[in-house]
Amino acid sequence: MKFLLRFFGFLFTAGTILFLAGLAAVAGLFWHFSKDLPDYSQLQNYEPPVMTRVHAADGSLLGEFAKERRLYLPIQAVPKLVINAFLAAEDKNFYEHGGIDYTGMARAGVSYVQNFGSNRRPQGASTITQQVAKNFLLTNEVSFTRKIKEALLAMRIERAYSKDKILELYLNEIYLGLGAYGIAAASLVYFDKSVNELTVAEAAYLAALPKMPASLHPVRNRARAIERRNYVIDRLQENGWITAADADKARKDPLAVTNRSNGAHTFAGEYFSEEVRRDIFERYGEKKLYEGGLSVRTTLDPKVQVMARKAMVAGLVNYDEAQGYRGAIQKLDLTSDWGVPLAEIKSLSDISPWRMAVVLESNDQSARIGFQPGRELGGAVSKQRETGIVTMDGVRWARIKGRAPTAVSQVLQPGDVIYADPLYKDGKAIEGQYRLRQIPELSGAMVAMDPHTGRVLAMVGGFSFDQSQFNRATQAYRQPGSTFKPIVYSTALDNGYTGSTVMIDGPIEIDQGQGNIWRPENFSTGKYQGQVTLRNALRLSLNTVTVRLAQEIGMPVIGEYAKRFGVYDELPNYLAYALGAGETTVMRMATAYSMIANGGVRVKPTLIDRIQDRYGHTIFKHDQRECRGCDAPEGWKNQPEPQLIDHRERVLDSMTAYQITSLMEGVIQAGTGTALKEVGKPLAGKTGTSNEAKDLWFVGFSPDLVVGLYVGYDKPRSLGRNAQAGHTAAPIARDFLKLALADKPATPFKQPVGIRLVLVDAKTGLRAAQGQNRGVVLEAFKPGQAPPFYDPTLVAGTDVIDGTQQQGISPDADRAVMRSGTGGLY
């Protein structure tokens, strides 16, 4: 008996010693692993990388910029269905345990022992809290060391934070595949929905993803994805979080994911979106752009953008097709399935409704084409094949070596890779028939701007962003040609000249020194008007008059005005620059004309209205006007109405701005811009053809909209001996303005106080004779500038010398050599 007592005593003592030793070992391990644990308090101030979202002026999404596509969603905004789905899939006892599921850990330990040495990944049993500890504070290392640290951190996190806070961190941090981090981004990426719109089946699928998003791809691993989704649905039903009927319906739902479209593609706003990205990068840097969660409200008007894109593309294509057909993009072997090799060819995705196709067979009357098949979400080429017919009407434009085709087979041969779009007749697409297209070699840019604020409403930076990301609206420096002349004339009008001032249009020679003589000529070489008013000189874009005017005013003064308007930073003092020989951008020219259109007030072009940080605080606002009275106490107490105080600088006298606007109205009504008369609204503007017709421009405006554009080759070359801006650039502006101003009233330009309108003879610039109704124009004058009464002895093209009327101008008198130190020009 004593022996048994001693034996049990020994066992008890040994057990106690072992127990205490075990406790000491455990305590030692806890101390060992606890001493270098990460600081979990950082979770309190955790700011995950959140994508910057860019919106158009109407609130529609234009673009997203992120390294990790994530939108942060407070737990209060997460629907109960979504929360329950993730709890069912990951941790159904989340709201009951203290951070560790001991049963699960034991099961994982047994599994580890069983699989030791098999190179199989050990089974995990981490709670949501443990996953938060791992994702935020630890690495993905597979070891007991990390699991112990994970457990210790989980217990500490549970003591420091509420369950809702832990769940909020988890739901916003987890990676759910396809580049989506967090449930808000995943909901948009997979289903193009907010989390509040998710169905039971959709929420269950997202909840199935955290452990293995790549293995549950909705297309590549569809069967496995549905199986795992249905497992989550079963757990939801088992836990009583959905009804049996809801579960049955959810299991039967197909796994239908959405290939979410790019907002910039939708509005043809890729160039605009990229320009905004560059702007934010320059303001705040890379980290703020891609991780700062900025909300950017831009100035882009989607409707105006589509109009601008449509007009610009049509203009480029029309010119390019007039030059003839250059042939197929490339040849394709048709001996096997043509869809797969065609799908491998890079096509432009932003020129819809154009589609890449391959010619399958052709004859004299038609050609059968097969369209490039799409790709499924997983990247596989779609098995669907779509074909169409190109008839003679679809290739009639395609002249080859100057000759119009007489058969379709002359243009299209089997294996030719081409672009095609629907063939229209009487405004309706003919079903199954298509028209041959080719990517234009000619390019260009367009900017539409609100002249009162500088807000850029639309921007076209080229034919296709997919083809070239070079933004010709802001990055291409080109010669503006005669579109610069209104700056020269504004300088003159601001310094005492009027639209009735008479100048000489005749041959002129400029001595540049060292025997170099420059002889500027008008577009109509050898034709001169003699005496001509400034109004007519601008209307007819007379180069010799502009050069003489620049001589009289002085290039330094013109350079100062050009700098004020922002056309050039520094303008060399050479007379050729008065004709637009210097290089500038479409954006700069549109901004300069905006300052004329708004009455002479400085505007700064902007693509961004306001920027807010991730907390909703406004950190940038374009409109800097002061609002006096806007912060009045709540309620109306008969106080004065709020007033917007504009502190912007004046760059041009308002009366001068009206005068030059009036002169440019003449360009539209009876000058080089008559193509725009079709718009049927008050318009002012100027065409411009650069040296050797390498660039064709038009810049103009209505009272509330400015448009500037140019067309030209990226590697500058002439558009042709007879190329004129009035025939190429102006019609593009016309087509755009007809759309943009269609529902706008015909508002005349606002006449400033002090301007006096006087009826003058259009040729002489003198006051019109009493009863004179023909050949007259209303000219705008500042106080004291009105011309004297009409003198019938003075008519355009004649001189009165010693009382005798002399016809014409002495060639010798007008070819006087001017020595003004203009320096070398061309």
By the 8 A CB rule, do 447 and 590 touch? yes
Beta-bridge partner residues of 421: 435
Residue 612 has φ and ψ, to the nearest 5°, of -115, 145
**Calpha distance 55→155 (Å, rounded):** 42
Strand order through the sheet with 817-819: 517-518, 509-511, 817-819
Q: Are strands 684-689 and 456-460 parallel, antiparallel or unpaired?
A: unpaired
Peptide bond into 353 cis (omega under 30): yes
**Calpha distance 128→150 (Å, rounded):** 11
**Calpha distance 806→817 (Å, rounded):** 23
The size of the chain, in residues, is 826
By the 8 A CB rule, do 479 and 580 touch? yes
Structure tokens at 563: 């700098």
Q: Give SS3 for 232.
A: helix
Instruction: Name the nearest CA neighbour of 252 among 229, 271, 273, 270.
Output: 229
By the 8 A CB rule, do 255 and 199 touch? no
Structure tokens at 734: 């016309």
For 720, residues 6+ apart whose C-beta sits below 8 A from its C-beta are 693
Structure tokens at 607: 């693509």
Catalytic residue at 654?
no
**Calpha distance 725→697 (Å, rounded):** 6
**Calpha distance 417→474 (Å, rounded):** 33
With helix as H, strand as E and coil as C, how does 125-169 read?
A: CCCHHHHHHHHHHCCCCCCHHHHHHHHHHHHHHHHHCCHHHHHHH
**Calpha distance 9→104 (Å, rounded):** 36
For 117, residues 6+ apart whose C-beta sits below 8 A from its C-beta are none
Q: Which of 64, 90, 168, 202 is catalytic?
A: 90
**Calpha distance 35→432 (Å, rounded):** 74
Structure tokens at 524: 């109509």
Q: Give SS3 for 616.
A: coil
Q: Which of 187, 366, 409, 482 is catalytic?
A: 482
Distance of CA 542 to the CA centre of its chain: 37
Structure tokens at 29: 């391990």
With b meaning 16 or more CB within 10 Å and e meaning fewer, what string describes 571-604?
bebbbbbbbbbbebbbbbbbbbbbbbbbbbbbbe
Catalytic residue at 820?
no
Distance of CA 825 to the CA centre of its chain: 38
Q: Give SS3 for 582.
A: coil
Neighbours of 47 (CB within 10 A): 11
Q: Give SS3 for 250.
A: helix
Give the residue numbers marked as catalytic: 90, 482
